[in-house]
Amino acid sequence: MTDTLPPAAAKPGVLSLAIREKAALFAAYMPFVKGGGLFIPTSKPFKMGEEIFMLLTLLNDPNKLKVVGKVIWITPQAANNKPQGIGIQFTDKDGGAEAKKRIETILGAALKSSRPSNTI
């Protein structure tokens, strides 16, 4: 009997992301997504629904958040003057709830701002 490996599409992509400034976090955060999410500038090809494992550093916190999410948004190169990248929806488990809570604590009242972001 031969063991078979799962297809490459079944393996989650791994991204390391460091957001060092509050303004950059505001631009990347997607509060309108159920469970929260982040826009990640990247030219790497991803597929809708693809699972992503992120190591996320927020501002100057030395602790990295381990977050699992899935691709729910793809901005192709040079689309509507927005940066190329992907939108990741946090899962309720696997660090997603903690990431949402930490991001919303950092952003506080700025979440109600009408400033443009990298998504909308």
Q: 87 forms bridges with which residues in the sheet?
A: 39, 73
For residue 28, the model assigns a pLDDT of: 92
- pLDDT digits over 59-110, tens only? 989 999 999 999 998 988 766 777 889 999 999 878 899 999 999 999 987 7
* Token representation of residue 100: 């949402």
pLDDT of residue 9: 45
**pLDDT tens-place string over residues 2-40:** 444 444 444 568 888 999 999 999 989 999 899 999 999
How many degrees, rounded to 5, is the angle at CA 57 between CA 49 and CA 95? 50
State the DSSP H helix or E strand holding residue 28, giving kind and residue range, or none if neither: helix 22-28
Asked whether residue 117 carries a pLDDT value surpassing 60, the answer given is no
pTM for the whole thing? 0.78
Domains of the chain: 11-108 (2.40.10.220)
